[in-house]
Amino acid sequence: MEKLDETQFNYEKKGEKGPENWGRLKPEWAMCGKGNMQSPIDLTDKRVLIDHNLGYLRSQYLPSNATIKNRGHDIMMKFEGGNAGLGITINGTEYKLQQIHWHSPSEHTLNGKRFVLEEHMVHQSKDGRNAVVAFFYKLGKPDYFLLTMRTVTLKQLIMLRVTVHDQSNSNARPLQRKNERPVALYIPTWHSKLY
């Protein structure tokens, strides 16, 4: 496992380098302090917009080599150069999988409920736009197949947290204001029988 020094920021709620101050730490991070589309948010089913016209979403994930990196605030799997068969296509735009990392507890909440873990699969298009696919985890038996709600054992959760070398008990950013933005739910046609 490669260890990286990412001490420019942390997740300490009241710390100098904590989430409340991220927008002031570096000029390129200014949107963290003043942006209206910040993440994470509480995803509520009362406000969700089910939009059947969101377009076509196609995913392709093949076995691939990755480097595991300890960034100090999380564990990341980095796909460098070997991501040719990894990614998603949204409305004709290809997004290649760049990395996967985890937040404990979850950053986003679902109807006010915070989960023990949240996985972020970070993708990027050729023109530099990002698409992040997130999964919530709950404590349970090991998940040997892709279920709707993934599970993680307590031992795995503890391993992910103690491996990082920060002093924080979590790496989840506090919830941000929704600012009246819509939250859309994508239900693939082949998945519609489940809803």
Q: Which two tokens stand for residue 23?
A: 């927008």
pLDDT at 118 over 90: yes
Q: Using DSSP, state whether 33 is helix, strand or coil.
A: helix
Q: Give strand pairing partners of 70.
A: 3, 75
Better-scored residue on pLDDT, 169 or 21:
21
Is residue 4's pLDDT more than 80?
Answer: no
Can you give the pLDDT at residue 192?
44
Percent of the chain with pLDDT over 70: 77
User: What is the pTM for the complete model shown?
Assistant: 0.69
pLDDT at 45 over 80: yes
Amino acid occupying residue 79: F
Cα separation, 44 vs 46, in Å, equals 5
**Which pLDDT score, from 0 to 100, does residue 102 have?**
92
Among 52, 73, 103, 165, the one annotated catalytic: 73
Mean pLDDT: which of 60-64, 87-91, 122-126 is highest?
Answer: 122-126
Q: Which domains does the chain have, with CATH numbers?
A: 8-38 (no CATH), 40-194 (3.10.200.10)
Handedness of CA 158, 161, 163, 169 (dihedral sign): negative
Judge whether 73 counts as a catalytic residue: yes
